[in-house]
Amino acid sequence: MRAEASNPRVELAVTASVVGWGVVQVTAEQIPALRKAPGVWHEKIAPTALKQADEQTVVAVAAVLQAAQRGELVDFASWGILAAPLYFGRSVTLASLLAFEKEGAWGVSPHLIPHHSLHAISGTLSQLLHIHGPNLGVGNGPGATYEAFLLAGAMMSDLNLPGLWIVLTEHDAEPIPGQPMPGCLGVALALRLQGNGAESMQLRVCPGEEEHVEFLASLPEFSLTSFAQELERTDGDPAGMWRLGPRGWLEIESGESR
C-alpha cells in the first residue's frame, strides 16, 4: 500500500533510506555467549565490554553489528542513536530491591543507573562503536515504538545528521522471578539521512491526523515481532505499513518498487 494513494496528509511524513538492518532473536540460554561476542566489528570487542550490560543492551549491540555488516557500513561515527527498549532494567531493579532489603544501602549496585536506566542502550552503543552523534533512549513502556519512531522522525529531519540508528528491543515475555527467563528480540535499522539512497529500502513515518482514523483502521498495529518478521522475509523485499499509536503510521518499502 502506498501512502500517497491512501493518505491525504502524506506531506507530514518524513522519509529516510534504510541502508542496513539487523534482527537478533535469542533465547535466555544464548545471551551469555552473545554478551561475550556480540558480533563482528572492525575492532576487537573485549569479552568484558558488555559485562554490566542489560540483556536488552546485549541484543541491541548484536542487532546493530548485524545491520552494519549487512549494509557494509564502516563509518557511522557521526550518526545519531535512538534506542527504545521495553521495561528496561526490571530484573536488575528487583535484584537491587532485594539486596537493599538484605544489606541496606551498601548492597545496591553502582551499575544500576548507569547500565539499567533508559539512556544505557544508546550510551553503550555510542561508547562501544565510537559513535559521537546524539544518543538517547526513548519510551520504555507500552507505546515505546510509537514514541521512538516519532522522535526518529524529528531526528531524520535534522540537516546536520548524516545517519541515524533506530534500535528496538524487548523480551519475549517479561522476566518475572520464579518463571523461566525469556528470550530477547533486538531490531536495528540504519538510516542514511544525507546523500543518495533512493535505491535503498525506504522508511516513512507520520504522526497522523484526525482524518486518518478510517485509513489507520485498515492497518495492523505495529509490533516488534511482526516488523522483525517482515525484515527477515525470504520471499521478497521487506514492505509493509503499520499503525503507530493512536494516529500515526510507519511504512517500509523496497527501493526498486518506488
Partner 1 sequence: MKRHPVWITGVGAASPLGCNVADIARNLLAGVSGIRKVDAFSVADHPAQIAGVVDAIPCPADFDPQFFDALDRSERAATWSAWSALQDAGLNRRNDLRIGLILGTAAEWNCLWENDYWQGGRRIFESNDQVGLVHRVKETLDLAGPCASLSAACASSNYALHLARRWLELGWVDVCLAGGCDLALSPLTLACFGNLRALSRRNDEPTKASRPFDLERDGFVMGDGCTIFALERAEHVRERGGKAYAEVAGFGAVSDAYHMVIPSPDPGPAIRAMNQALTDARIDPADVDYVNAHATGTSVGDSAEARVLAAVFGSHLEKMPVSSTKSMTGHLLTAAAAFEALACIVAMREGAVPPTINLDHPDPECPLCHVPNQAQQRRVKVAVSNSFGFGGSNTTLVLRAV
Give least dist CB 236 to partner 1, A: 32
Among 10, 28, 49, 151, binds partner 1 (CB under 8 A): 151
Q: Which is nearer to partner 1, 109 or 254 (CB)?
A: 109
Give the residue among 26, 10, 24, 250 at the shortest CA–CA distance from 145. Answer: 250
CA gap 227, 148 in Å, rounded:
14
Q: Does 258 bind partner 1 (CB under 8 A)?
A: no
CA gap 169, 187 in Å, rounded:
6
Q: Which three cell numbers stand for residue 185?
A: 528480540
Among 27, 113, 221, 223, binds partner 1 (CB under 8 A): 113
Give least dist CB 213 to partner 1, A: 13
What strands lie across the sheet with 163-171, from one edge to the other? 80-84, 163-171, 184-192, 14-26, 201-206, 248-253, 240-244
Q: Does 133 bind partner 1 (CB under 8 A)?
A: yes
Q: Does 115 bind partner 1 (CB under 8 A)?
A: yes
CA gap 98, 153 in Å, rounded:
40
CA gap 252, 258 in Å, rounded:
11
- DSSP-derived pairing of the beta strands 163-171 and 80-84: parallel
Q: Considering only 29-37, 144-152, 183-191, 193-201, which stretch makes contact with partner 1 by CB under 8 A?
A: 144-152
* Positions in 169-228 near partner 1 (CB under 8 A): 173-174, 176-177, 207, 210
Among 28, 36, 70, 87, binds partner 1 (CB under 8 A): 87
CA distances 53 to 142, 193, 234, Å, are 22, 29, 32
Give least dist CB 140 to partner 1, A: 5
Give least dist CB 54 to partner 1, A: 12
Helix (H) or strand (E) holding 86: none
Q: How far is CA 83 from the centre of its chain?
A: 5
Among 112, 162, 181, 254, binds partner 1 (CB under 8 A): 112
Q: Which is nearer to partner 1, 47 or 177 (CB)?
A: 177
Q: Which residues bind partner 1 (CB under 8 A)?
A: 12, 14, 77, 87-90, 93-94, 96-97, 100, 104-110, 112-120, 122-124, 126-127, 129-144, 146-148, 150-151, 153-155, 157-160, 173-174, 176-177, 207, 210, 245, 247-248
